[in-house]
Amino acid sequence: MTLKELTAREVQEQLESGKELHIIDVREDDEVAQGMIPGATHIALGNLPIEMHDLDQTTPYILVCRSGGRSGRAQEIMADEGFDVTNMAGGMLAWEGQAE
């Protein structure tokens, strides 16, 4: 299975062009408190196996963490359940856009 990936810059450009993205931030609470991508949904990686069942399987999601590692694990978990998921490579360390 080939897992899809976007760079932080590509995600930022899509948002700035007005595209509606569904972003899930899988970092821990204290990390998210330091800023996350505007409009992102926070679901910590540990809660994902339970909470992902509340998400719409027909919606494509972009997964974000600090550096791309945990979101890659989240991507495998969700892809195994049939979700259309893309990992944001480099995570928030590579993010140069706005954060809230």
Spatial strand order of the sheet with 41-42 comes to 4-7, 85-89, 61-64, 23-25, 41-42
How far CA 52 is from CA of 17, 24, 29, 77, in Å, comes to 27, 10, 17, 9
- Distance of alpha carbon 43 from its chain centroid, rounded? 9
Q: Is 44 a catalytic residue?
A: no
Q: Please list, in sequence order, all residues whose beta carbon lies within 8 angstroms of the beta carbon of residue 9, skipping any fewer than 6 positions away.
A: 94, 96
**Considering 65, 74, 88, 92, which one is annotated as catalytic?**
65
Catalytic residues: 65
